[in-house]
């Protein structure tokens, strides 16, 4: 089961706008007051808070619809719960959560759900706000109709709770659709690795492979290796310059009499301009592009277990300030989440393997790789070069096979085994036949590589610039290979 939220703008007259604003402010003050009390007294139970506050607010706002009061108290309980949890982990400094805006929740009864779902093409809802019910027209769009079509075909259902939210002085109804996910037969095994400017991908096409196993056709039996260009690092650097320019431009306006400046990044003007620069939007577009690319066909998707805060652990090694900033700006988690989400929608399965030594081991000989003067290229003691990204994605694939584990990644067993990541939640439950096939494929790739081991790294490192050229990217290969594909 998969949830999708769809926001549809409401058609709001002046009068309705006023009404919604006043309901919103009542709702907000209920939430704020209840949260303040609950945090102070350490109460997270919805029932307890309900008992304490329900009658108070019924008296205070007699015309406000009952359901709205109940929902506001419930929402306050949830906010308190998450705030207390964060405080316990030392992640908040403030004594109280600061609630700037709320979205108003309506239960089934409070927005005419029954009637809405019965309709073939719903275009309005009936909201219980103050005193009477109001018919409110919607401005449905393509995306809404697409999900509604699924509802009509019984491939999705509409959730009973509706959220009404204001954004930039427009009102939206947010519908939640629960979509049935399909189990589909995987057509590929894809492993990916997120870098600063690229996402490295290794893909094994199962549909062409299964038939080819008997023929031992190398072209199909070996993984395709390519990168998807994201330029997250470059984007971050560019927007850092943009932000600095904005600060410089605003400085004269915020100069203090003593010659200092107000912290400009806190000003409304600054935020407005930053928003206009669309940094977030651009980043998000690229994240979605990657997710789309990787989930085009139903696949078994393999990726590294990132941990809670991947940036932090990487920063530990990164000394330079500049690099530190770039790592912080690479949306590892966002990419991972987007891929997982899309995978679910399209019938793919995602598996996480440990990141242990992924780019330290030769995927052919299982030996420890040595560095070269090019950060991207590593040298195997058996005398060939390997692209760091390729090693990483191929080793991830190895990790799903039983054999390679003991050979490649546990060479000093007693010293350090990171058992986390191989057991419990991230233990990959891959169908046995897939594992077996993968093992076969990887062995074959290994065998052909052993015969001509100079291939994978495109020769000796020639680039004197060292680690500076992170972004040289290859396009995803067309079906059947091509120049860009590295096949063995
Ligand atoms: Zn090697």
pLDDT grade for 456, boundaries at 50, 70 and 90 = very low
Dist CA 33 CA 373 (whole Å) = 61
Q: How far is the CA of 453 from the centre of ligand 1 (A)?
A: 7
Answer yes or no: are the C-beta atoms of 487 and 218 closer than 8 Å: yes
Between 470 and 126, where is the model more confident?
A: 126
Q: How far is the CA of 226 from the centre of ligand 1 (A)?
A: 20
According to DSSP, residue 407 is labeled I
Answer yes or no: are the C-beta atoms of 167 and 125 closer than 8 Å: no
Neighbours of 10 (CB within 10 A): 22
Give the pairing type, strands 299-304 and 349-353: parallel
Q: How far is the CA of 354 from the centre of ligand 1 (A)?
A: 21
* Nearest of 208, 189, 211, 190 to residue 200 by alpha carbon: 190
Dist CA 237 CA 327 (whole Å) = 11
Q: How far is the CA of 451 from the centre of ligand 1 (A)?
A: 11
Dist CA 91 CA 73 (whole Å) = 24
In this prediction the pTM is: 0.61
- Backbone torsion region of residue 42, taken as left when φ is above 0, otherwise alpha when ψ lies between -120 and 50, otherwise beta: left
Q: How far is the CA of 449 from the centre of ligand 1 (A)?
A: 9
Q: How far is the CA of 204 from the centre of ligand 1 (A)?
A: 21
Span of 31-40, 205-214, 230-239 with lowest mean pLDDT: 205-214
Q: How far is the CA of 225 from the centre of ligand 1 (A)?
A: 17
Span of 92-106, 281-295, 347-361 with lowest mean pLDDT: 347-361
* Nearest of 94, 298, 117, 268 to residue 190 by alpha carbon: 298
Q: How far is the CA of 385 from the centre of ligand 1 (A)?
A: 8
Dist CA 155 CA 345 (whole Å) = 12
Dist CA 436 CA 401 (whole Å) = 7
Q: How far is the CA of 444 from the centre of ligand 1 (A)?
A: 15
Dist CA 5 CA 63 (whole Å) = 30
Q: How far is the CA of 210 from the centre of ligand 1 (A)?
A: 27
C-alpha distances (whole Å) from 268 to each of 98, 208, 255, 282 are: 18, 56, 15, 22
User: What's the mean pLDDT in 14-28?
Assistant: 91
User: Which three-class secondary structure state does DSSP give residue 450?
Assistant: helix
pLDDT at 408 over 50: no
Dist CA 340 CA 338 (whole Å) = 5
Q: How far is the CA of 363 from the centre of ligand 1 (A)?
A: 7
pLDDT in tens, 229-238: 888 888 888 8
Dist CA 35 CA 131 (whole Å) = 26
Span of 143-147, 235-239, 308-312, 408-412 with lowest mean pLDDT: 408-412
According to DSSP, residue 223 is labeled P
Between 264 and 163, where is the model more confident?
A: 163
pLDDT of the residue at 433: 62
Q: How far is the CA of 158 from the centre of ligand 1 (A)?
A: 54
pLDDT at 176 over 90: yes
Span of 17-26, 242-251, 402-411 with lowest mean pLDDT: 402-411
**Angle between helix 432-451 and helix 388-398 axes, rounded to 10 deg:** 140
Q: How far is the CA of 218 from the centre of ligand 1 (A)?
A: 19
pLDDT grade for 325, boundaries at 50, 70 and 90 = low
Dist CA 437 CA 210 (whole Å) = 8
List beta partners, residue 302: 191, 351
The average confidence (pLDDT) of the chain is 77
Give the pairing type, strands 170-179 and 162-167: antiparallel
pLDDT grade for 484, boundaries at 50, 70 and 90 = very low
List beta partners, residue 104: 164
In this structure, what token pair is assigned to residue 254? 């915020």
| In 129-223, beta strands by DSSP E | 133-139, 156-158, 162-167, 170-179, 188-194, 198-205
């Amino acid at each position: 089961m998969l949830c999708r939220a769809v926001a549809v703008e409401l058609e709001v007259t002046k009068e309705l706008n006023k009404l919604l604003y006043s309901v919103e402010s009542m709702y907000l003050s209920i939430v704020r007051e209840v949260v303040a009390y609950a945090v102070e007294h350490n109460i997270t139970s919805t029932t307890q808070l309900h008992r304490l506050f329900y009658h108070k607010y019924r008296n205070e706002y007699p015309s406000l619809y009952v359901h709205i009061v109940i929902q506001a108290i419930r929402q306050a309980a949830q906010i308190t719960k998450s705030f207390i949890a964060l405080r316990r982990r030392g992640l908040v400094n403030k004594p109280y959560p600061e609630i700037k805006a709320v979205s108003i929740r309506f239960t089934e009864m409070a927005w005419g759900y029954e009637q809405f779902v019965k309709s073939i093409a719903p275009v309005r809802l009936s909201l219980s706000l103050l005193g009477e019910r109001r018919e409110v027209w919607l401005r449905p769009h393509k995306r809404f109709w697409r999900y509604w079509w699924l509802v009509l075909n019984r491939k999705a259902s509409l959730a009973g709770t509706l959220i009404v939210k204001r954004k930039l002085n427009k009102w939206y109804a947010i519908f939640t659709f629960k979509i049935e996910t399909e189990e589909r037969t995987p057509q590929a095994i894809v492993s990916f690795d997120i870098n600063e400017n690229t996402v490295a991908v290794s893909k094994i096409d199962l549909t062409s492979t299964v038939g080819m196993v008997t023929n031992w056709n190398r072209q199909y039996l070996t993984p395709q290796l390519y990168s998807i260009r994201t330029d997250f690092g470059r984007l971050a650097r560019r927007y850092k310059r943009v932000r600095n320019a904005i600060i410089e431009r605003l400085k004269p306006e915020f100069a203090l009499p003593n010659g200092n400046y107000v912290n400009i990044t806190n000003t409304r003007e600054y935020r407005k301009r930053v928003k206009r620069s669309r940094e977030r939007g651009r980043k998000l577009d690229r994240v979605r592009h990657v997710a789309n690319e990787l989930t085009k066909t139903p696949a078994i998707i393999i990726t590294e277990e990132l941990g809670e805060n991947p940036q932090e652990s990487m920063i530990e090694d990164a000394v330079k300030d500049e690099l530190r900033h770039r790592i912080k700006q690479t949306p590892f988690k966002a990419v991972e989440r987007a891929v997982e989400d899309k995978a679910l929608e399209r019938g793919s399965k995602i598996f996480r393997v440990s990141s242990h030594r992924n780019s330290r081991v030769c995927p052919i000989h299982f030996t420890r790789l040595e560095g070269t003067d090019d950060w991207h290229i590593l040298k195997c003691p058996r005398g060939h070069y390997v692209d760091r990204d390729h090693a990483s994605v191929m080793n991830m694939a190895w990790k799903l096979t039983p054999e390679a584990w003991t050979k490649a990644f546990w060479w000093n067993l007693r010293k350090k085994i990171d058992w986390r990541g191989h057991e419990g939640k991230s233990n990959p439950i891959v169908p046995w036949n897939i594992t077996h096939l993968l093992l076969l494929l990887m062995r074959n790739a290994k065998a052909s590589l052993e015969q001509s081991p100079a291939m994978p790294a495109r020769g000796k490192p020639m680039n004197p610039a060292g680690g500076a050229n992170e972004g040289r990217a290859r396009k995803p290969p067309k079906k059947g290979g091509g120049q860009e594909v590295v096949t063995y």
